[in-house]
Amino acid sequence: MDLTMFFQQLINGLQLGAIYALIALGYTMVYGIIRLINFAHADFLMVGAFAVYFFASFILTLTNAIPPIIIFILGLIVALVAGALIAELSNRLAYKPLRYKPRLSALITAVGVSMFLEYFFASLPFIGPSFRAFPDLIKPVSFVVGGVYLNTIQLLDIGLAIVLMILLTYIVNRTMMGKAMRAVSQDKDAAKLMGIDVERTITFVFLIGGALAGAAGILMAMTYPRIYPNMGILPGLKAFVAAVLGGIGNIPGAMVGGFLLGIAEIYATSFNSLLGEGIAFAILILVLLVRPQGLLGEKQSEKV
Amino acid sequence: MRTARVLLIFALITGLVFFGVSCGGSTTSPTPTSSPSPTTSSPSPTPPAKDIIIGVVAPLTGDSATFGKSTQEGAELATAEWNAKGGINGSQIVLKIADDKSDPTEGAAGITRLIEQDKIVGEIGTVQSKVSLAIAPILQAKKIPMISPTSTNEKVTLVGDFIFRACFIDNFQGVVGAAFAYDNLKVTKAACLFDVGNDYTKGLAENFRDAFTKLGGTIVGFEAHPTGATDFNAQLTKIIAAGPELIYISDYYNDVGLICKQARALGYTGFFLGGDGWDSADLVKIGGDAVEGGFFTNHFSKDDTRPEVQAFVKDYTAKFGAPPDALAALAYDAANLMFDAISRAKSTDGTAIRDALKVANFKAVSGTIKFDANRNPIKAAVIIEIKGGQQTYKATVQP
């Protein structure tokens, strides 16, 4: 592998990693606060992508006069709102009734919500199970730096992943709501006694988590412009691996895990095109063996 | 090998049906209702003994009803034309039609009825390989020749020496693609990218590789991707670094769109070539400018300038009110092959017809057809080019 190819694959890895990182952020935050692995997270992503698809198709049939950047920003807002709404709806209908039941019940419910969303969307007449072409919100512009090809969508993916991680870290660590979230994560009952509205806090967690999924949805659809109801399954699984790799519950960890996994997958694929897919899962097993708490995760002592 | 494609087509059709229903439901009667009746109305006013009875098995209802309709119409047009010219050696041709509902069991029941009740001497159909595989052994046992217009699974004609087909088998497309790349595009360095979980795309890629190497070209990259992948950058970066002038992408249209986009974003400027998995209007929607100038192999193009094709397209459109698709063209060819063989055999004996088919050399709409030792046609494929976002006829390539 010569140097140009090495750097080109690094860029490819960063792009793929940015997508994983964006999805992993939502996984890890919801887990960090309510200890629920929300398997439906990747399907919230799909909902976000379809919301933008319908929004953008509608706008583009009305007029071509709106500059692409405005459509993108409006699309991003649509994605955030759609993701947040579907997440909160799932919380209300599926997770809330099981809040004080064993954790396994909530986990199975998450799998159920995930499958429901996939099959329900596939059965809707105006969506259907087949592929849709996602419109170009922003025309990607390629440019070459020292023989390595970059494009605007890649930079957008990587940039937005970093911005959202910083924003999320700020919310969790520096705001009153963040403080409440951390309190709820430690002990729901004690938090309640301290006057924290636990349900309101959890709602907030789902709204933010869903919005993150929506953001991942629009970026994934722009990067890989083909959407369908099952589009979230595989990236969702790998993002989950990324979250565990970085230390589940740890926000910068999700970021690191996502990028590491993306880069590893690209280099492995480049080495042998059949290995790449398996690498994600091999890494998961290795990390669990050597460092069960993840790269940036802290060892948790059992609460007594 | 066909299952994935059948599933995909099923998915598309389900989507279309839902769409049609949601748009007001006016589009839900694609098949002529006359289809079941001909099979039961045989004891009509004493057909002269010299009529030649030919069976047609096709999916006229169910998931693949549009395939069945095209197949039936193609066969009917050929029959009408032969009868107008005075039939075969003075005998009129009568078609007896059975609906297989895309179901092997229904197909077997239908063909048994056609043989026992209608006494067919030859059979045209059916569309799907899985159903053809169910009816072929019955016809083989009765020594009645069968020509499937569109079953591409290699096993169909291997059932026995009375079973023929009018379409080329999947792997053949790789061979034709290689010839087009080497001879027409003058390319000497090519790479392949394919879905490792799908026999169809893998088979095409392997056949392209072998044929291209045999012609004297070099394969500089042979990369796989897992089913359902969306990111092909790693494979493409590796392929592009090896400097191919052409990338052979045997995937289906939805993957092809993404692959072409990613390849162009990585600075690739050479050709793209693929198989009939590209044949969808959505290819351009997903791939956009990136698929512009791409080529793929297909069975038939209504824009082909050969006089046989233009005459067929004109007659078909006049009779049925819409231009023919590939299924109609192949059914038309299958029927003509059968009638031609009967006329040369000067007999309706199954073995005589079979022997005539074996030495067929027929100028069909989808190319001049001869049969190889396994009763697969040796014929040309058409190359379609994506031009201005439309599928346009580029060339006909002989194997």
Contact criterion met (CB < 8 Å) for A2 and B234? no
Best A12, A19, A151, A152 residue to mutate vs chain B (most B CBs within 10 Å): A12
Residue A37 pLDDT grade (very low, low, confident, very high; cuts 50, 70, 90): confident
- Can you tell me the mean pLDDT for A241-262? 90
Cα(A92)–Cα(A113) distance, integer angstroms: 12
Mutate to test the interface with B, among A224, A228, A238, A281 (most CBs of B within 10 A): A224
Cα–Cα distance between A283 and B135 in angstroms, integer? 50
Q: For the residues A249-259, what does the mean pLDDT come to?
A: 90
Question: What's the mean pLDDT in B374-388?
Answer: 90
Distances (CA, A) of A260 to A15, A246, A266, B313, B379: 11, 9, 10, 57, 51
Q: Which residue of B has its CA nearest to A10?
A: B234
Does pLDDT of B47 surpass 50? no
Distance from CA of B24 to the nearest CA of A (A): 12
Dump pLDDT digits (tens) for B190-199.
999 999 887 7
Provide the residue type at B69 as one letter.
Answer: K
Q: Give B44's pLDDT tier (boundaries 50, 70, 90).
A: very low
Q: Which chain A residues contact residue B234 at CB under 8 A?
A: 9, 12, 265-267, 269-270, 273, 276
| CB neighbourhood size of A293 (10 A) | 17
| CB of A270 less than 8 A from some CB of B | yes
How would you list the strands of the sheet with B362-364, edge to edge? B362-364, B367-371, B377-378
Which residues, listed in sequence order, are joined to residue B191 by a DSSP beta bridge? B221, B247
Q: What is the mean pLDDT of residues A268-287?
A: 82
Percent of chain B with pLDDT over 70: 87
Cα separation, B367 vs B379, in Å, equals 6
Instruction: Identify the band that residue A204 occupies on the pLDDT scale cut at 50, 70 and 90.
Output: very high
Rg over CA atoms, chain A? 19
> Which residues of chain A are within 8 Å of residue B19 when distances are taken between CB atoms?
125-126, 128
**Given pLDDT bands bounded at 50, 70 and 90, which one contains residue A272?**
confident
Mean predicted confidence (pLDDT) in B71-75: 94
In B, minimum Cα distance to A149 occurs at: B266
Averaged pLDDT, A235-242: 91
* Sign of CA pseudo-dihedral A263, A269, A272, A274: positive
* C-beta atoms of A273 and B235 within 8 A: yes
| Tokens 């209007």, residue located | B281
- pTM surpassing 0.90? no
Q: Which amino acid is at A24?
A: A
DSSP, res B91: B
What span, in angstroms and rounded, lies between the C-alpha atoms of B291 and B395?
18
Lowest average pLDDT, out of B175-184, B273-282, B328-337, goes to B273-282
pLDDT score recorded for residue B24: 38
Instruction: Quote the pLDDT of residue B31.
Output: 39
Query: A224–B231: do the CB atoms touch at under 8 Å?
Result: yes
Distance CA A143, CA A151 (A): 6
Q: What is the pLDDT of residues B103-137, one digit of tens each?
A: 899 999 999 999 999 999 999 989 888 899 999 99
Q: Which residues pair with B195 in a beta bridge?
A: B225
pLDDT of residue A1: 63
pLDDT band at B396 (very low <50, low <70, confident <90, very high): confident
Residue B125: phi and psi, rounded to 5, are: 135, 175
User: Looking at the partner chain, which of A12, A140, A142 has a beta carbon nearest the beta carbon of B233?
Assistant: A12
Q: Which of B21, B224, B286 sits opposite A274 (nearest CB)?
A: B224
Choose, out of B7, B23, B230, the residue to mutate when testing the contact with A (most A CBs < 10 Å).
B230
Contact B120, B52 (CB under 8 A): no
Can you tell me the distance from the alpha carbon of B126 to that of B57, in angstroms, rounded to the nearest whole number?
5
Q: Hey, is the C-beta of A199 within 8 angstroms of any chain B C-beta?
A: no
The shortest CB-CB distance from B19 to any of A12, A125, A224 is to: A125
pLDDT higher than threshold 50 for residue B66: yes
Q: How many helices (H) and strands (E) does chain A have?
A: 11, 4
What secondary structure letter does DSSP report for B88?
A: B
pLDDT, chain B, mean: 85
CA dihedral (B249, B254, B259, B260) in degrees, to 10, reads 80
pLDDT at B342 exceeding the cut of 90: yes
Instruction: Give the mean pLDDT of chain A.
Output: 89
**How far from B40 is each of A289, B36, B59, B70, B388, CA to CA, in Å?**
70, 7, 17, 22, 49
Cβ contacts of B257 on chain A, cutoff 8 Å: 133, 225-226
